[in-house]
Amino acid sequence: MADVGADVSAPKKARIGFEQDVGITEYVGTHKGFNGILKQRYSDFLVNEIDPSGRVVRLETLEPPPEPEPDTGWAGGNVSAEDKEQLELLAGGKRTEPVVLPAAGLSKEQRGQLHAWVRAHWPHLESHTADGTVRVSRSTAQRRRAAPWPSGRPSYTTFVLYKENMDTIEAVNRIATFLGMRPSFLGYAGTKDKRAKTCQRVSCHRLPAKKLLELNRRQGIRVGNITFEDRAIKLGDLQGNRFAIVLRDVDGTTEDHEEAVRSLSENGFLNYYGTQRFGTTAVATHQIGRALLRGNYEEAVDLVLQPRDGDAGALAECRDEWMKSKDAARALSKLPHRGCIEGLLLRALTKGGATNYLGALLALPRNVRLLYLHGYQSYVWNRLVSRRVQRFGFAVLPGDLLITPGASEDEPRVAGPEEVGSASMQAVVLPLPGHSIRYPQNEVADWYKEILAEDGLTLESFGGEQRHRYVHPEHF
């Protein structure tokens, strides 16, 4: 595969060093590599999530889904057009006096239907019966209520998030701040690149579509394709991602380029967890995950808050203050926007005690904490793949775990001696380290324990899952 820099500002040698630090060392192809600039512009890198059904996720509409008509009996059809117009003015703040609807002669059931009709169409209005009328006025802030969730509608609002030059965690924090909720209320399958244009699915419990679409006034974020589902989106709920990539200032010859493309198309690539999984700064996610798994919570907090090369502005001042004084309140005061990871940690330390490091880490969204732990699992997996290639190349070994097309990802089978020459290396899977997962029945299983022992950890530290070590790109 081509050897390209990750960013025009990142020296080639430094980037290669980072790749080696996270276990990325081997190649499938033996052809001559070439250099180029990746992500010189964020529009050079397009990412579309592929959902569990295999559909490529795209932002196609900013319109809300059709709303079902509320079942309010005869009520809506028996309110005059003039009264409806006055109710609209009242709801929009252009009228302050209550609207009085005639209710003389109505049964108790009919009055109830009239109240329900008002609530369904104008959630911020309230109504009550008085002297043979129904009086409708604006709700006070204390009494204002959300619109009732339609009966029979699935409980999770799912939407497509399109973002530019912003990482997923920052985008989710912005959405949560706008909606007045915790970032952990929003579910997503994984983080997408910052320096890119990306589309991915996000879910939230019973989030009204109209409120969500108000986000489209914000810069750098668009939401749409709203649907309603029975379950939340969780980390890993995707088949993969589709990429469209521009390389600039490419060196080498046309023959070099064609040979690299041919190798990628015919031979595929090692399915390493890429550098995006480990972050783009000097402190990688797997280092924070390792500290968490060891129970070194103070170290984990320091790793999140320590200064990084390339920091600027308020965030740089915040990190510098923390490392100088370890005063959470003073460091927090440097941040104008406190919805970022650093702000959440420092705010929790300010409120919960200067040494309550575990409490501060628990204040982070669950998805963020999981990303740190998954980062460490990914680091171990990358090292195992590299060691496997260095030791045995691409051969299928007796005792390898195989998942063939159409088989369940949760039920790999063990390769027998008779399959060594016939099984495809694309069927070989290696598990992420964990205690509740099946391991190869050969010496590779011992490598897990050896690598974890280097960090003072065991397989009991976390769960696991299977992952193909070698893949072919699709639609290439």
Q: Which residues are annotated as catalytic?
A: 193
Question: By CB neighbour count within 10 A (0-12 exposed, 13-18 middle, 19+ buried), where does 453 fall?
Answer: exposed
Tell me how far CA of residue 254 lies from CA of 234, 260, 276, 348, 385, in angstroms. 43, 10, 29, 55, 31
Output DSSP code: residue 163.
E
Distance spanning both ends of the chain, measured CA to CA: 13
Give the strands of the sheet with 133-138, arranged side by side.
Answer: 99-102, 133-138, 125-130
Alpha carbon of residue 323 to chain centroid: 29
102, two tokens: 């005639």
How many Cβ atoms are within 10 Å of 174's Cβ, its own excluded?
Answer: 21
CA–CA gap between residue 197 and residue 297 (Å, rounded): 34
Determine what percent of the chain falls in helix, strand and coil, rounding each to the nearest 5. Answer: 40, 15, 45
Q: Are strands 37-38 and 470-471 parallel, antiparallel or unpaired?
A: unpaired
CB 11 within 8 A of CB 274: no
CB 215 within 8 A of CB 175: yes
CB 277 within 8 A of CB 374: yes
161, two tokens: 């998030």
